[in-house]
Homo-oligomer: A and B are copies of this chain.
Amino acid sequence: MTKERLYLYDTTLRDGAQTSGVDFSVNEKIVVAELLERLGVDYVEGGYPGANPTDTEFFSEKRTAKAAFTAFGMTKRAGRSAANDPGLQEILAARSDACCFVAKAWDYHVRVALGCTNEENLQSIEETVAAAVAAGKEAMIDCEHFFDGYKANPGYALECARAAYLAGARWVVLCDTNGGTLPDEIHDIVTRVQEVVPGSHLGIHTHDDTGHAVANSLAAVDAGVRQIQGTLNGLGERCGNANLITLIPTLKLKSAYADRFEIGVSDGQLREISSISHAFDEILNRSPDRQAPYVGETAFATKAGIHASAILKDPQTYEHVDPECVGNRRRVLVSDQAGKSNLIGELTRVGIQVDKSDPRLDRLLALVKEREAEGYAYEAADASFELLARRELGEVPRFFEINSFRVMVERRFNAIGDLVTVSEAVVKVDVDGETRMSVAEGNGPVNALDMALRKDLGKYQSAIEGLELIDYKVRILNGGTGAVTRVLIESHDTKTHRRWFTIGVSSNIVDASFQALADSITFALMKANLT
C-alpha cells in the first residue's frame, strides 16, 4: 500500500513564542531552529518579520537547510493594494522559502476586528496569496477561528478557504484558535471543507483548551488533512498548542497512522526525540514535564515488583511502544544493556569512536549515571559530555589547574552616599608550572568569576581571546536555596564561530557556575589542539 505524505509544521518560534514569559532572542531562535532540523519537521515558522526587531533580524538570513523556512504575517489590509501594504512587503522581503498569512474566516471578526466587508476580506486573501506566489514563495493561509466561524456562518468560512486555494495557496490551514472544538466536530467540518479544498492542501492547527489538541489534529488527519501544525513540548499560550513531541511518535509507531502515512522524521530522528524535547526545556529554562507521553521521565517507569519478569519476557504486554524507539528508557530495576548502546551513539555523535567491548565504556557509563543522578544533564551540554568522555579515555591535557577562588558580593553605601552593589572575584591558577593570581570586578558574582578566570592564562591567553559567554541558565533542582543548582552555559568563539554548551552542578550556585566556566575554557583549549 502506498503511503501518503503527511507534513509537519512547527510554529514554536511564532505561536509558541506568544506564550507569556517566553521571550526568544535571535540566538535562541537559531538554536531552536537547529533542534527542529534535527527532529525532521517540514516547515519551521520562524516568526513575524516586521512585527518586532528580533523577528526581522532572524529573517535576515535563511535559518534552515532542509525544512522550509517560513515567515508568518497577516493578509494585506483592506483598501490597499498588496504592493502598497508595507507589512506584507516586509514579509515577502524576508529570506524565507514560504509565507504563512493569518486570515479572518469568521464574518464576525471581519466586521469587528478588520472593519471591512466580507468581500474585501476575500479579496485580501486572494491578493495576498497571489503576491506571495508571484514573489516565488510557497504560500499558505491560516484560517483563524475557522471552526467557530464555520459554525456561525459555514458558507463564508468555506468561501475564505476556497479563495485561498484558488489563488494558489499550497496550504489552507484550518485553525481552532479558541481551542474549544471537539474531535467529532473537527472531523465533520474538515470533511465538509473538502468540497472546496482537497485534503492534500489542507492543514490543521489546534490548541489544548479542552485537552484535545492532539486528538483533534489526528481527527483532522483521519478526515483528510495532510499538514499538522504544532509546537515543541506543546508550547503555546493559554493551554498550549498541539504537541509535536506527542504526535510524532504516534504517527511513527501506531499502525493506524504508520501504515497509512509517511512523515519527514526518520527512525533515527525519532530516537532523538526525548533528547530534543529535553534540550528545548533547557532553552526555556523550564522543568521538563516528567509525565509527558513518550519522552517524559516516568513515561515508561513501570511499577517495580509483581510483573518485572513478565515485562522482560515480553515487554509488549506492558508497554504500548518500545521506549528505545523514542530515545527513552524503560525504568525498571534491572541491568541496563540499552544504556551501553545509547552511550556509544552519544560518543559517536561527538566524534569519539570506541569499540563496543572496550572496558572503559562500562566505567564511563557508570560515571555518567552517577553524575546524572546528581543533576548533570548531558543531553543539554555536549561539550561537558565530550570532556567527561575524553577525560575518561585519558585524552585531555591538563591545561591549567585552579587552586582556589574567592567571590564576594557587597552592597553598601559608596563615598557619595549611594547604595551600590559590587562583585569581585579573585582566582589563583597554575599554568605551565607557574601560579598566577587575577582579580576582576563584574556585574554579579558569576560575571566577576568569569572575567577573573579568563584574565590571565599565560601561554593559553591568545587561544581564548575570541571566547565569549552567550547564555547562562540556572535551574534549581528540588527547590529551596538548600537544593542543587544546575548551571548551563553557552559559549561562543568569535574566531572559529564554534558554539558549545557546558554544565555545572552544585548546591552552591557560584561553584556550579565555576564548573561550567572552567569546562568551557578547557573545551576551547582542547579544540584549539593545544598541548
Q: Which residues in A have some Cβ–Cβ distance to B below 8 Å?
A: 18, 20-21, 23, 25, 27-28, 106, 108-109, 112-113, 145, 148, 178-185, 208-212, 214-215, 218-219, 222, 237-240, 243, 246-247, 249-250, 254, 256, 285, 291-294, 296, 298-303, 306-307, 310, 313-314, 317-321, 333, 335, 377, 379-380, 403-413, 421, 423, 442-447, 450, 468-483, 485, 490, 506-511, 513-514
Contacts and interface: CB of A to CB of B under 8 A. Distances in A.
Contact of A443 (B222, B508, B514): B508
A510 B479 contact: no
A477 B301 CA distance: 28
A335 B237 CA distance: 14
Nearest to A425: B409
21 contacts: A106-B317, A178-B319, A178-B320, A179-B320, A180-B319, A180-B321, A182-B256, A209-B294, A211-B214, A211-B247, A238-B298, A238-B301, A238-B302, A240-B291, A285-B475, A404-B411, A404-B412, A406-B409, A406-B412, A469-B480, A474-B475
User: How many subunits of this chain does the assembly comprise?
Assistant: 2
Contact of A292 (B239, B296, B407): B239
A298 B208 CA distance: 12
B511 A444 contact: yes
In the A-B complex, the 7 residue pairs with the closest CB atoms: A180-B320, A215-B215, A447-B481, A444-B508, A474-B474, A443-B507, A409-B510
Contacts of A291: 208, 238-240
Given A303-B237, A444-B507, A509-B445, A472 B477 contact: no
Contacts of A477: 23
A238 B407 CA distance: 40
Given A211-B215, A293-B208, A411-B511, A470 B479 contact: yes
Contacts of A508: 409, 421, 423, 443-445
Contacts of A215: 183, 211-212, 214-215
A342 to B, nearest CB: 14
A interface: dominant SS: mixed
Given A291-B240, A421-B510, A445-B510, A317 B407 contact: no
Contact of A407 (B247, B409, B470): B409
B476 A474 contact: yes
Contacts of A21: 377, 380
Contacts of A445: 407, 409, 445, 508-510
Contact of A20 (B25, B183, B333): B333
Contact of A444 (B292, B410, B509): B509
Nearest to A148: B317
A411 B475 CA distance: 21
B480 A471 contact: yes
Nearest to A419: B404
Contacts of A421: 506, 508, 510-511
A320 B151 CA distance: 13
Given A20-B335, A181-B320, A445-B509, 19 more contacts: A20-B379, A109-B317, A112-B313, A180-B254, A182-B254, A185-B256, A210-B250, A211-B243, A237-B298, A238-B301, A238-B302, A403-B412, A407-B445, A409-B445, A411-B511, A423-B508, A444-B510, A447-B482, A469-B481
A247 B182 CA distance: 12
A310 B177 CA distance: 15
A508 B410 CA distance: 10
Contacts of A314: 108, 112
A462 B395 CA distance: 57
Contacts of A293: 208-211, 239
Contacts of A178: 318-320
